[in-house]
Amino acid sequence: MKIHSLFNDKSDLYEKARPVYPDEIYRYLVSISPSNLKAWDCACGNGQVSEGLSHCFEGVIATDVSDQQIANAKRFDNVIYRVMPSESTDFPDDSFDLVCVAQALHWFDFPVFWPEVKRVLKPGGVFAAWGYIWPVLPYEIERIFHDQILNVIAPYWATQNSLLTGHYKDVEFPFEGLSSPKFEMKVEWNLDQFFDFIKTFSATRRCIEEHGEAFLDVAYEQIETYWSADEKARVIPLEFVFYAGRNTE
């Protein structure tokens, strides 16, 4: 399976439905970086993180293997987008104050990726990775979400996803770990927005390709019963994992 194929076909939905990361993350990252000259956003997708970094760093290079994600990315004066694998770049040594990966670390080939990151990071530069996992839902909605959706799409997850759902505990970071603040991620969604989000899961899309969307229709009708009429939009926390480390070489 080519990883970029999981994110090419729904780049527009991905841009619309994916949650926005807290601004506090970018303020924290620039505060611990050697300077605010240059940051690299690996696997940038639609440029959501690139936008956040653009407000804190003078220059941002954003790369992704998906040309369609890059084509749909938001444009900013100090962000340069390139279609490029993160494991093999043409960046000069010691180029970046910050290298970061949001929602994509689990896709990388670590034996190749880590040396490349350490090569392009400045001495004392920062590597950061973060991602959200499952929404934290009221009991009845959680039960339907688990039984009617997660159980159905479970066979369609790529094995790499377990690294994210395991909060990166099985990832061996070659950096000096930093004690970071605890960031909270919340979204405010109506029911349609919640299901748009579910449809961005790679496992959901692969399941739909094989079986169609009937299982989502069933889940929607059941969850709608508990998504009360007087509360069209719900504030939903998301499980969140964050790592930051310093390049000491």
Note down pLDDT in tens along the chain; length 249 residues: 344 444 445 555 556 667 889 999 999 999 999 999 999 999 999 899 999 999 999 999 999 999 988 988 889 999 999 999 999 999 999 999 999 999 999 999 999 999 999 999 999 999 999 999 999 999 999 999 999 999 999 999 999 999 999 999 999 999 999 999 999 999 999 999 999 999 989 899 999 999 999 999 999 999 998 886 556 788 999 999 999 999 997
pTM, two decimals, is 0.89
Distance CA 183, CA 4 (A): 28
Count of domains observed in the chain: 1
- Residue 63: closest CA among 85, 78, 79: 85
40 CB burial (10 A radius; 0-12, 13-18, 19+)? buried
Tell me the residue range of the domain where 155 lies.
5-246
Tell me how far apart the alpha carbons of residues 4 and 43 are, in angstroms, rounded to a whole number.
Answer: 10
Q: Taking the alpha carbons of 49, 106, 249, 118 in that order, is the dihedral positive or negative?
A: negative
Which residues on adjacent β-strands are paired with residue 102? 130
Token match 């956003």: residue? 41
Per the listing, tokens 């079986």 go with 211
Read off the pLDDT of residues 11-60 as tens digits, 9 standing for 90 and up.
555 566 678 899 999 999 999 999 999 999 999 998 999 999 999 999 99
CATH number for 231? 3.40.50.150
The torsion of the CA quartet 138, 144, 149, 150, rounded to 10 degrees, works out to 60
